[in-house]
Amino acid sequence: MELKNDLFLRALKGETVERPPVWMMRQAGRYLPEFMELKHKYDFFTRCQTPELASEITVQPIRRYGMDAAILFSDILVIPQAMNIEVEMKPNFGPYLPNPIRSQADVDRIQEVDIDATLGYVMDAIDMTKEKLAGEVPLIGFAGSPWTILCYCVQGQGSKNFDKAKEFCFTQPLAAHALLQKITDTTIAYLKQKVAHGVNAVQVFDSWGGMLSPTDYTEFSWQYINQIVEALADETEVIVFGKGCWFALGDMAKSRASALGVDWTCSPKNARYLTGGNITLQGNFDPTRLLSPPATIKKMVKEMIDAFGKDKYIVNLGHGILPHVPIENAGAFIEAVKEYGQ
């Protein structure tokens, strides 16, 4: 199907554009009143695993704001679930894994994953979403980085420092690398299947990459992300986003990724400098800044685009949108981009 709006894909390819495209990480979700209605009726993984709900949630922000790309509503922890690792989503707590992985024996028990059997519901959600979008905008599929998935599998829950996950890597490196490789293989198969079902680009989220030193990042995170990039680069556009990973931008820029996400702790100027100025960048508005008055948001967005430059750039937040952002503020963010250069 011909896309009516291919601005996002053109920016990913580094083409000259009239204005940069815009979407927001976690745009399909918790800040929208229409999402909250569904949240009150269905628990988290029911929403992820029911294609009708996941596709509806995916298109909600597009209907309301008309972003230049939709991102499939799902979660990074569907991968450990597919690997037969139990994951619960506890209200007011977050992810909880009752049987964390702590030994080589635990890693050895993880079987190879049949993507269709375990994650077929995600593919059904893509099919339904494509139908609902009707070629309006591109659809992004995503996965967590192997390191970020390991963090949850070993820690068993969210954490400020993922000390148990790091301890596992540093005291049992063979087990850690075996686990990272299993996650990587599963993720590659998963993302390839998403591409086969018609997503137009994929993003790898390395939410906890910034927990590692640059040396440990290369060993325990980047080499596995790069395997994913290499495996997918001939089939689709790949965006890599590492939160707190400015130190790795130079290495990332040498990879076959189409674009790199930047968080708000790295200035546009530094991000361009560190990446050599040739790759498309995405970001990097502080999500908390969406609590500023709409007029301030618009002014800051314009300044941000001026600083990155309108080409080889995708406007986004530096991390996911917060649940308590007023809808008119999110609207101001999108409008500022659409009005750019007018």
Residue 331 lies in a domain: yes
Task: Please check if 340 is assigned to a binding site.
Answer: no
CATH number reported for the structural domain that contains residue 91 in this entry? 3.20.20.210
Q: Is 121 annotated as a binding residue?
A: no
pLDDT of res. 342:
83
The pLDDT of residue 1 is above 90: no
> Is 319 annotated among the ligand-binding residues?
yes
Answer yes or no: are the C-beta atoms of 20 and 66 closer than 8 Å. Answer: no
61 within domain boundaries: yes
Q: Are 159 and 100 in contact (CB under 8 A)?
A: no
* 179 touches 150 (CB < 8 A): yes
pLDDT of amino acid 2: 87
Q: Per the domain annotation, does 1 fall within a domain? A: no
Each residue's pLDDT tens digit, 264-320? 999 999 999 999 999 999 999 999 999 999 999 999 999 999 999 999 999 999 999
**Any known ligand binding at 213?**
no
**93: which 2 tokens?**
């707590």
234 marked as part of a ligand binding site:
no
75 annotated as ligand-binding: yes
DSSP states along 11-63: HHTT---SS--B--TT-SSTT-HHHHHHHHHS-HHHHHH-HHHHHHHHHHHHH
Q: Is the preceding peptide bond at 226 cis, omega within 30 degrees of 0?
A: no
Q: Say if residue 145 carries a ligand binding annotation.
A: no
Question: For the chain, what is the mean pLDDT?
Answer: 97
Taking 3-state DSSP, the helix, strand and coil percentages for the chain, each rounded to the nearest 5, stand at 50, 15, 35
Residue 102: pLDDT band with limits 50, 70, 90: very high
The pLDDT of 84-112, averaged and rounded, is 96
Whether 22 is in a domain gets the answer yes
Q: Do the domain assignments include residue 17?
A: yes
CA–CA separation, 258 and 117 (whole Å): 30
Could you tell me the residue range of the domain that residue 144 belongs to? 7-338
User: φ and ψ at 311, to 5 degrees?
Assistant: -95, 155
Buried/exposed 165-201: b ≥16 CB within 10 Å, e otherwise: bbebbeebeebbbebbebbbbbbbbbbbbbbebbbbb
Please state, for a pLDDT cut of 90, what percent of the chain lies above it: 98
Cβ(95)–Cβ(77) below 8 Å: yes
207 is in an annotated binding site: yes
Q: What is this structure's pTM?
A: 0.97
Residue 27 annotated in ligand binding? yes
Query: What's the number of domains the chain is made of?
Result: 1
Let me know: does 80 contact 149? Beta carbons within 8 Å: yes
Residue 2 lies in a domain: no
40 is in an annotated binding site: no
The DSSP bridge partners found for residue 284 are 316
Q: What is the pLDDT of residues 230-265, one digit of tens each?
A: 999 999 999 999 999 999 999 999 999 999 999 999
